[in-house]
């Protein structure tokens, strides 16, 4: 990226829960930020009333003026000023067209931070080329776009020992631009630069595979599905299966919920009766119960938010990706496949979320 004397121009494409949350903080700190979103009412509300955030402490509750654009207005930036930094925070299935849209508004040397779940960097790179791509991971942020112009966060901010944002170059080097983006994100929440983007990505996929689909199929909030023994067990089984697939593919996995991948794999083997009990399952239960205790009962993962709103989910990019990758590497992923099937049935209106539906896996 060219370092210019003027402030870099930042575009957030997808000003939903994650993008809007980041955009509100960066706008409030006086940066040149544009939030672009497909939801017309949301853009209108942001223009009219600003963007309102609510968090778990008084300092995290504020409303800030933001500059919001409808997607169709993005082309006007060519007549004004191009963008230096982009955060893509749309759903995974929107990544390809968003990358096409970005082609005309990027300044030379711009950096595009892929701030989504799943693994979307290759999709962006296919359109915009690898040199502009930087990975961004949002870990335990738990945010929801409650209504147009209003985002709620249901878990306390990160801090010493736990970085909510992770920024990493696809090649793993610690570059000046990665440092610059990490510094910027530190204005929002704790951030680290990682040399291990791909391991971080798959480890985050494990968290999403175990959490998003289980909450979606059961209809329970994150805290409630963890407190319920049958869904807690299901989520640990998915975690182990997904970590196992990641290792079989060759991802050097990072810690998952603060624990080594081997714990989840061992716990899964124990739950499937394939390993004698050595306490891994019990330890995994303690870990997830500890996470649940820090969450509000209303908190639900993004996939469960989508299903509750009758919207398309990212299931094909989360558990679906695990199934697909497993198949192409000769590994089995039956629990992910069962979750994929059930969430698709809910999306198609052929089934409703319930505890029994989750217990059938």
Ligand X SMILES: NC(=O)C1=CN([C@@H]2O[C@H](COP(=O)(O)OP(=O)(O)OC[C@H]3O[C@@H](n4cnc5c(N)ncnc54)[C@H](OP(=O)(O)O)[C@@H]3O)[C@@H](O)[C@H]2O)C=CC1
Kindly list the residues in this chain that would bind ligand X in the complex (CB under 6 A).
Answer: 14-19, 37-39, 89-92, 116-117, 138, 141-143, 145, 302, 309, 314
Residue 298 CB, nearest distance to ligand KPL (Å)? 13
- Residue 194: name its binding partner from ligand KPL, ligand X, none (Cβ under 5 to 8 Å by kind): none
- Residue 89: name its binding partner from ligand X, ligand KPL, none (Cβ under 5 to 8 Å by kind): ligand X
Contact positions vs ligand KPL (CB under 6 A)? 117, 140-142, 207-208, 211-212, 301-302
Neighbours of 231 (CB within 10 A): 21
Residue 156 CB, nearest distance to ligand X (Å)? 14
Residue 256 CB, nearest distance to ligand KPL (Å)? 11
Question: Which neighbouring-strand residues pair with 113?
Answer: 87, 134
User: Is 85 or 142 the residue whose CB approaches ligand X more closely?
Assistant: 142
Pairing of strands 150-153, 191-193: unpaired
User: Is 31 or 157 the residue whose CB approaches ligand KPL more closely?
Assistant: 157
User: Is 4 or 309 the residue whose CB approaches ligand X more closely?
Assistant: 309
Give dist(CA 232, CA 288) in Å, integer.
Answer: 8
User: Is 117 or 120 the residue whose CB approaches ligand KPL more closely?
Assistant: 117
Residue nearest to ligand X (CB): 16
Neighbours of 29 (CB within 10 A): 12
- Residue 33: name its binding partner from ligand X, ligand KPL, none (Cβ under 5 to 8 Å by kind): none
Alpha carbon dihedral 143, 146, 149, 150, in 10-degree steps, equals: -60
User: Is 177 or 300 the residue whose CB approaches ligand KPL more closely?
Assistant: 300
Residue 213 CB, nearest distance to ligand KPL (Å)? 10
Residue 18 CB, nearest distance to ligand X (Å)? 4
User: Is 181 or 271 the residue whose CB approaches ligand X more closely?
Assistant: 181
Residue 237 CB, nearest distance to ligand X (Å)? 22
121-128 vs 95-102: helix axis angle to the nearest 10? 30
What is the secondary structure of 232-259 as a DSSP string? HHHHHHHHHHHHHHHHHHT--PPPBTTB
What is the secondary structure of 66-85 as a DSSP string? -EEEEGGGGGGGGGT--EEE
Q: Per residue in 149-165, is it b (16+ CB within 10 Å) or e — as a string?
A: bbbbbbbebbeeeebbb
Cβ–Cβ < 8 Å for 87, 11? yes
């Amino acid at each position: 990226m060219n370092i210019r004397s003027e402030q870099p121009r930042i575009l957030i494409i997808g000003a939903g829960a994650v993008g809007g949350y980041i955009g509100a903080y960066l706008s409030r700190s006086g940066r040149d930020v544009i939030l672009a979103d497909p939801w017309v009412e949301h853009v209108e509300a942001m223009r009219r009333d600003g963007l309102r955030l609510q968090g778990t402490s008084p300092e995290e509750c504020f409303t800030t003026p933001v500059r919001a654009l409808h997607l169709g207005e993005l082309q006007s930036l060519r007549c004004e000023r191009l963008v230096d930094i982009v955060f893509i925070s749309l759903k995974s299935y929107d990544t390809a067209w968003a990358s096409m849209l970005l082609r005309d508004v990027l300044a030379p040397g711009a950096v595009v931070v892929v701030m989504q779940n799943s693994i979307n960097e290759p999709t962006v790179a296919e359109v915009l080329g690898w040199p502009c791509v930087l990975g961004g991971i949002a870990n335990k942020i738990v945010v929801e776009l409650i209504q147009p112009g209003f985002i709620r966060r249901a878990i306390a901010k990160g801090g010493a020992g736990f970085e909510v944002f992770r920024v990493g170059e696809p090649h793993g080097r610690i570059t000046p631009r990665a440092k610059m983006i990490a510094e910027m994100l530190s204005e929002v929440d704790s951030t680290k630069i990682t040399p291990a983007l791909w391991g971080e990505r798959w480890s985050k996929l494990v968290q999403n595979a175990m959490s998003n689909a289980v909450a979606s199929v059961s209809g329970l909030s994150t805290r409630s599905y963890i407190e319920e023994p049958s869904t807690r067990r299901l989520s640990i089984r998915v975690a182990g299966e997904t970590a196992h697939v990641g290792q079989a593919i060759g991802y050097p996995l990072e810690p998952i919920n603060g624990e080594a991948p081997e714990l989840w794999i061992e716990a899964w083997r124990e739950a499937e009766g394939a390993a004698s009990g050595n306490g891994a399952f019990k330890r995994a239960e303690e870990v997830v119960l500890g996470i649940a205790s820090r969450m509000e009962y209303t908190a639900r993962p993004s996939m469960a938010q989508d299903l509750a709103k009758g919207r398309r989910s990212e299931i094909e990019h989360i558990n679906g990706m695990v199934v697909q990758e497993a198949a192409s590497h000769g590994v089995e992923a039956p629990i992910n496949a069962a979750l994929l099937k059930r969430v698709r049935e809910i999306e198609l209106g052929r089934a409703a979320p319930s505890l029994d539906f989750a217990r059938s896996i």
